[in-house]
Amino acid sequence: MMQNIKLRFHVSHILSDLLADCLSSLGASGVASVDRTEFEAIYLAQKDAVYATDAVDEYLSELPEFVLVEAWFSPENKLVGVQNNTPVLVDLDGDFQGELYEVQDKEPVPLCDVVAFIEEKMAAFQEFFGGDYRYLGAELIESEDWENAWKEFYAPLRLSSRITVCPSWIDYQANPGEELISLDPGTAFGTGYHESTELCTAYLDELAFREEDFFQEARMLDLGTGSGILAIIMAKLGAKYLEAVDIDGQAVETAKENFAKNNLNFYPEKSGDKKEGYFLYPGELSDTGGKFDLLVANLIAKLHVDLAEEYERALNKKGYLLLSGIIDSKMRDVLTALEKVGLKLKEARLKNDWWALVFRKPEK
C-alpha cells in the first residue's frame, strides 16, 4: 500500500481555481473540487435534457455555498513523506516555487510551512478578489489506486456549440459537428473549467462561424496561453496563423504537449518571415512581432489596464481584441482604459462574476 497525502480546503467559488492552480504548481498529482456554482451553471444549461430534476434540485440544495477543494500529493512525484507519524511534504524548493526535482538531498518541508505558503498566496488573492479561504486539514490515505482516484471528478465538458474538452482517459464519441479538444488537467492554467476560458471559447466559436474567411486569414495571438487551450481551440476553428505566448516557460511546455496531443504541428519559436503556422514560445506582448487581427488575452483586469496602449499598438485596423479574466468589480477600470486608447467596445459578456470584453480597432 502506498501512502499519500490529501489536503482539504473550503474556499469561495471566486478563489477556487486560483487555489487549484497554486496546489498544482506545488506538485499535486490531482486536484478536485465540489463546486455548487459550477454544478448549477452546468445543470441550468442542460436542464431540458436532465431526468429526475427533483433529485438534482435536492442534491444541489444540500451542497454548501463554499467550494470543497481536495489535492492529492503522492510519493511518485517525491512530495510525500512521513516523520514521527506526521505527514510532511518533501522536495519542494526553498522558496516554494513549485519546482519538482529529485528528493535525495532535499530536506523534508514540514506540512505547516507548505500550508503557510498556500495561505500567504491565498491572502494575496483575497485582497484582490475577496472571498473566503480555509484550510481544513491533511489526511494520510492508503490507496492502491490513488493515481486514478481524482480522475473520477472530470468529465467531457461542452464549452461552446462546437467545442468539447475531453480528458484523454475518457473515450468519448463526438457528435457530428462537435470538435473534441483532448486536454488533461496539468500544472498550467486552462482546463476549460473556468468561466473566463469558457466565455472566450463561446465568442471564438461564434466569430469563426460568422466570419469564416476573416478567421482563416487573420493573424492571431493568444497572450497568456497557459495550457494552450484557447490556442488549440483557435486552431481547431480554422486559424492558419497563430502565435501563443506565456510569460511562464513551463506553461509553454505544457501547451506544446497539448498541441501535440491534439495532432497540431507547431514551431517552438517566433514566426520570423513565415506567413502561416502555429508559433509557441515564452514571452510577453512586447516580445511578439507584427500586428494582429485577433488578439485574445485571458489575464487579469489590472494587466489589461496596464497593457491598454500595447494592445492598441499590437492590433491591425479593424482588428478584434478579446479580453477575459475580468472580475466584475474591475470591469469599469478595464473598459475605461481601453476606450481611452481609442478601442471601441463591441460586446460584453458576463458569467457568474467574470466578464469577457470584445473591442475593435476603428478603421481610421
SS3 97: coil
The verdict on 247 binding ligand SAM (CB under 6 A) reads: yes
The verdict on 325 binding ligand SAM (CB under 6 A) reads: yes
The verdict on 190 binding ligand SAM (CB under 6 A) reads: yes
The verdict on 185 binding ligand SAM (CB under 6 A) reads: no
Smallest distance from ligand SAM to CB 216, Å: 21
Name the residue nearer to ligand SAM (CB basis): 4 or 205: 205
The verdict on 195 binding ligand SAM (CB under 6 A) reads: no
Smallest distance from ligand SAM to CB 285, Å: 6
Which of the stretches 4-12, 32-40, 50-58, 188-196 binds ligand SAM when contact is defined by CB under 6 A? Answer: 188-196
CB 319 within 8 A of CB 294: yes
The verdict on 70 binding ligand SAM (CB under 6 A) reads: no
Query: Of all helices (H) and strands (E), which one includes residue 123?
Result: helix 111-129
All three cell numbers of 247, joined, read: 510569460
SS3 108: strand
CA 244-324-71 angle, 5° bins: 80
All three cell numbers of 249, joined, read: 516557460
CA separation for the pair 260, 21 (Å, rounded): 23
Q: Which sign does the torsion angle of CA 317, 200, 122, 75 carry? A: negative
* Count of beta carbons in the 10 Å neighbourhood of residue 117: 18
The verdict on 27 binding ligand SAM (CB under 6 A) reads: no
The verdict on 305 binding ligand SAM (CB under 6 A) reads: no
Of 14, 22, 26, 230, which lies in the binding site for ligand SAM, with binding defined by CB under 6 A? 230
Which of the stretches 41-49, 94-102, 166-174, 241-249 binds ligand SAM when contact is defined by CB under 6 A? Answer: 241-249
Name the residue nearer to ligand SAM (CB basis): 138 or 244: 244
Which of the stretches 2-10, 160-168, 189-197, 338-346 binds ligand SAM when contact is defined by CB under 6 A? Answer: 189-197
CA 13-19-25 angle, 5° bins: 150
**Phi and psi torsions of 31, nearest 5°:** -130, 130
- Residues whose CB is less than 8 angstroms from the CB of residue 157 and which lie 6 or more positions away in sequence, other chains included: 164, 165, 166, 192, 193
Which residue in the block uniquely carries the three cell numbers 489575464? 299
All three cell numbers of 312, joined, read: 492598441
Which residue in the block uniquely carries the three cell numbers 518541508? 109
CA separation for the pair 348, 356 (Å, rounded): 6
Smallest distance from ligand SAM to CB 306, Å: 8
Of 4, 16, 74, 197, which lies in the binding site for ligand SAM, with binding defined by CB under 6 A? 197
DSSP 255-284: HHHHHHHTT---BSS--TT-SSEEEEEE--
The verdict on 186 binding ligand SAM (CB under 6 A) reads: no
CA separation for the pair 28, 358 (Å, rounded): 35
The verdict on 229 binding ligand SAM (CB under 6 A) reads: yes
The verdict on 319 binding ligand SAM (CB under 6 A) reads: no
The verdict on 223 binding ligand SAM (CB under 6 A) reads: yes
How many residues make contact with ligand SAM (CB under 6 A)?
21
Smallest distance from ligand SAM to CB 354, Å: 11
Of 178, 284, 312, 333, which lies in the binding site for ligand SAM, with binding defined by CB under 6 A? 284
Name the residue nearer to ligand SAM (CB basis): 24 or 298: 298
The verdict on 251 binding ligand SAM (CB under 6 A) reads: yes
Interface residues with ligand SAM (CB under 6 A) are 188-190, 197, 200, 223-226, 229-230, 245-248, 251, 284, 298-299, 303, 325
